[in-house]
Chains A and B, each alone.
Chain A
Amino acid sequence: MLRLPELGVAVLLACGFASAGELLLARRSRDVFSWNESFLVGMGAAASLLFPLSLLLPSSALVATLFLLALALFVGMGRHFVSRTAFWRLGTSSPRRLAIEFGATSVFFAFLVGLAVLAFATLNLRYSLLWDGFQIWATKAGLLYHTGALGKSWFPEEIYDSRILNYPHLVPLYEALLTLVRGRFDFNTLKPIFLLFYLSMSLSTCRAARMLVERRAALAAVALLVLLPAVSAGSSAGGYCDLPQAMYVAAVAAACLADSTEERGWRSPVPWLIGSLLTVKSEGIILFAIGIFAVALFWLSGGLSILWTQLRKAWRGIVILTAFLTLRTAYLVWLQIKDTTYGPLDREHLSRAFGRVAEVASLCVRRLTELPEWGFFWPVFVVAALVIVFLGTARERCLVAATALAMSVYAAVFLFTNWELALHVEHAYNRLLQQVAPLAAVVIVAAYARFQEHHTTASAKLMAGVEASGLR
């Protein structure tokens, strides 16, 4: 089942989101990477605005969102028509010339990525929705479609599951919009959007890596990522939202590493993308905080005065971040639904958490070294992180810090679970790791590049020294 009509609608909606993103960032996409960034900005903004729209239009917020997207698409197409910019342009070279420019290694990695994309597309379009994909995300999409807006009602007498209303709604929004265009809700037609998320994640990872290493190493980072069974098979192909969360994590890294001097203030995609981390999954709040921390850490690496100067310059970004956080918090306050999966933070639970530290660490390390899911990925990341600490640049060290912090905080969350501990770690930690896997892939290739550079430089100095001393 290729689901071509649904894939077409998903692409059309993506164009609408991208156009909205371009309007927000006041720019025209110059290539597929910037188009991808605009797509993510537009989608995150739309997801965030769904709540206030639902308050204003209690039964037609979804239709209003579609109307606004259509308007943005119309305006965007008009702008591209007038300016004649080709946003899909990757280059004007012929395929043969591209292959020669790329080199054999790049072609090899690009081939691996292509195979992985094909495998994911096959699984994604063949598999039905798996557990969370059906019971949480597609169900929220169904409710949104039928009620026309975000609401406070779950299914009758479902007290525990009503916590699902707390979960953010970027993916349900996309699925509901696709359904609105189709005209009829069908659980079996929602998967095509995940193919777009997968491609977006790959593009962002490539761009992030390209900021630090040469082209073939950037392609190697993408290949290492998409060849991971945990990223490209299983729950990713079953409609879970860890893939779209990873998509945003990769995009944040790419935008931060790009650090364009042309795009500042309101036009910087960084705060929009960090804010959008709140719109995919509940644990996005952790990634949101870590994203801000990583940026601040990088500024701090230049000294306190640099941090202070940058904070003052970034007031527009802080406003955008505050807006995202306010909307998310307001939604949760409006719902007034308590999630009893974790906590509460009282003496008894804190004492239990303290007693669980060794067990949680052991369970999580076991997940990291699970060969069928991760191969050698995480042990290699640990080594790469150490290399970056000694040989990397400030940006790369911040990337390592962000990745390690996310992995640690995600593990620490299990200290407070009210579910059966081993079962919860087994079911959830791999999916949480998937969200930061793009960062780890970039760290791995960056570490390789730095190590090789260090040895090349050291050898050159040694040879120069030998020649100068006349010992050769």
Chain B
Amino acid sequence: MTATNSHSRSSIAVKAIAVVVVGGAVYFGATSFAREIEMAFQGGRVSVISPQLTDGVLMVKRIAPSGSTIFYISQTPEYWNSKLWQRALYPDVAVILIQTSVEVDGPRLKQLKEKYSVHYALSVGDPPLDPGFRWHHSLPSLPGVGGQTWFGKLSE
């Protein structure tokens, strides 16, 4: 009888543990969902291509010929907004990312300019780096991006 009681107690203990496990799953799941849903509906990123980027892309496409290649120059190395521009302009305009001021001042920029016949550039920063613009316009900056965004034609 003692052994039988022991078996019953073990079975009840396991059931209790199962209840705790399921309860824990419900708790952690529910709190996570609530937190993420709140984030998603209160300023969470809804669209990967923002209206500001859409406007900027239209302005670039109006000036840079279809099939051309441009530079995107970051004042500081950055791998999200630069790639947003790169993907948003594809396939009409190809974008080469220039991530440091060293590259802007060095011989690599000239080599790439000749290799890809680059005549235009985007430059983002506070203030943006000047790769040798002949002229440039200011574009709307992307959400969360400080400084300014310039787009212009490069000197020959």
Q: Give A residues with C-beta under 8 Å from B.
A: 1, 112, 116, 119, 122-123, 126-129, 131, 134-135, 138-139, 142-143, 146, 155-158, 186-188, 220, 223-224, 226-229, 232-234, 237, 371-372, 374-377, 380, 444, 448, 451-452, 455-456, 458-459, 462-463, 466
Chain B residues, CB < 8 A from A138: 48
Contact partner of B96 (CB less than 8 A), chosen from A143, A146, A157, A452, is A157
Task: Indicate which residue in B29, B45, B69, B97 contacts A116 across the interface (CB closer than 8 Å).
Answer: B29
Given the known A-B contacts A123-B36, A233-B33, are A1 and B90 also in contact in the complex, defined by CB atoms under 8 Å? no
Q: How far is the CA of A362 from the CA of B15 in the complex (A)?
A: 31
B147 interfacial contact with A, CB 8 Å: no
The verdict on A187 contacting B87 (CB below 8 Å), with A127-B40, A129-B48 known, is yes
Q: What is the distance, in angstroms, from A373's C-beta to the closest C-beta of chain B?
A: 8
Beyond A157-B96, A448-B18, whether A142 also contacts B8 by CB under 8 A is no
- Shortest Cβ distance from B31 into chain A, in angstroms? 8
Which B residues are CB-close (under 8 A) to A375? 24-25, 27-29
Contact B48 A228 (CB under 8 A): no
A459 touches B45 (CB 8 A): no
CB distance from B45 to the nearest CB of A (A): 5
CA distance A232 to B37 in the complex (A): 12
- Bound-state CA distance A194–B32 (Å) is 19
Taking a contact as CB atoms under 8 Å apart, the answer to whether A122 and B37 are in contact is yes
Chain A residue contacts of B116, Cβ below 8 A? 156
Residues of B within 8 A of A116 (CB): 29, 33
The interface residues of chain B lying within 8 Å CB-to-CB of A220 are 22
A128 and B46 form a contact (CB under 8 A) = yes
| Pair B21/A380 contact, Cβ less than 8 Å | yes
A142 touches B90 (CB 8 A): yes
List chain A residues, Cβ under 8 A from B33: 116, 119, 123, 229, 232-233
13 pairs from A and B in contact (CB 8 Å cutoff): A126-B46, A129-B48, A131-B80, A134-B83, A139-B87, A142-B87, A156-B116, A228-B28, A233-B33, A374-B28, A375-B28, A376-B21, A380-B21
B36 touches which one: A226, A237, A448 (CB < 8 A)? A237
Among B3, B8, B41, B83, the residue within 8 A (CB) of A135 is B83
A228 engages B25 (CB within 8 Å): yes
Question: Which chain A residues border B28 with CB–CB below 8 Å?
Answer: 227-229, 371-372, 374-375
Query: Do A127 and B44 form a contact, CB below 8 Å, given A142-B90, A232-B33, A234-B36?
Result: yes
A135: nearest chain-B partner, CB-CB: B83
**In whole angstroms, what is the CA distance A188 to B49 when docked?**
7
Report B69-100 residues with CB < 8 Å from chain A CB: 69, 80, 83, 86-87, 90-91, 94-97
Shortest CB–CB separation between residue B107 and chain A, in angstroms? 15
The reply to whether A127 and B45 contact each other, CB–CB distance below 8 Å, is yes
Chief secondary structure at chain A's binding surface: helix
CA distance A129 to B84 in the complex (A): 12
Give chain A nearest CB distance to B14 CB in angstroms: 6
Cβ 8 A contact of B22, one of A155, A224, A228: A224
Contact between chains at B24 and A376 (CB < 8 Å)? yes
- Whether B26 and A227, one on each chain, are in contact in the complex, defined by CB atoms closer than 8 angstroms, is yes
The CA of A426 and the CA of B49, in the complex, are separated in Å by 27
**Contacts of B7 on A, CB cut-off 8 Å?**
455, 458-459, 462
Q: How far is the CB of A115 from chain B (nearest CB, A)?
A: 8
Contact of B97 among A158, A234, A451 (CB under 8 A): A158
Check A372–B90 contact: CB distance below 8 A.
no
A223:B22 contact, CB within 8 angstroms: yes
**Chain B's nearest CB lies how many Å from the CB of A175?**
13
CB interface residues, B 81-130, toward A, < 8 Å: 83, 86-87, 90-91, 94-97, 112, 116
Does B14 contact A126, Cβ atoms closer than 8 Å?
Answer: no
> In whole angstroms, what is the CA distance A237 to B44 when docked?
13
Cα distance, A439 to B62, chains bound together (Å): 53
Contacts of A186 in B (CB 8 A): 49
Please measure, in the bound complex, the distance between the C-alpha atom of A242 and the C-alpha atom of B10, giving whole angstroms. Answer: 38
Q: For the complex, give the distance between the alpha carbons of A237 and B46 in Å.
A: 12
Asked whether, in the complex, the Cβ of A227 is within 8 Å of the Cβ of B3, the reply is no
**A155 lies within 8 A of B40 (CB):** no
Closest to B50 in A: A128
Question: Which of B10, B29, B80, B94 has the largest number of chain A CB atoms within 10 A?
Answer: B29
Interface centre among B21, B46, B112 (most CB of A within 10 A): B21
CB distance from B143 to the nearest CB of A (A): 12
Residues of B within 8 A of A1 (CB): 46
Q: A142 — which chain B residues lie within 8 A by C-beta?
A: 87, 90
Besides A158-B97, A227-B25, 11 more A-B contacts (Cβ < 8 Å) are: A112-B26, A119-B33, A119-B37, A126-B41, A135-B83, A155-B95, A371-B28, A448-B14, A452-B11, A456-B11, A462-B3
Closest to A380 in B: B21
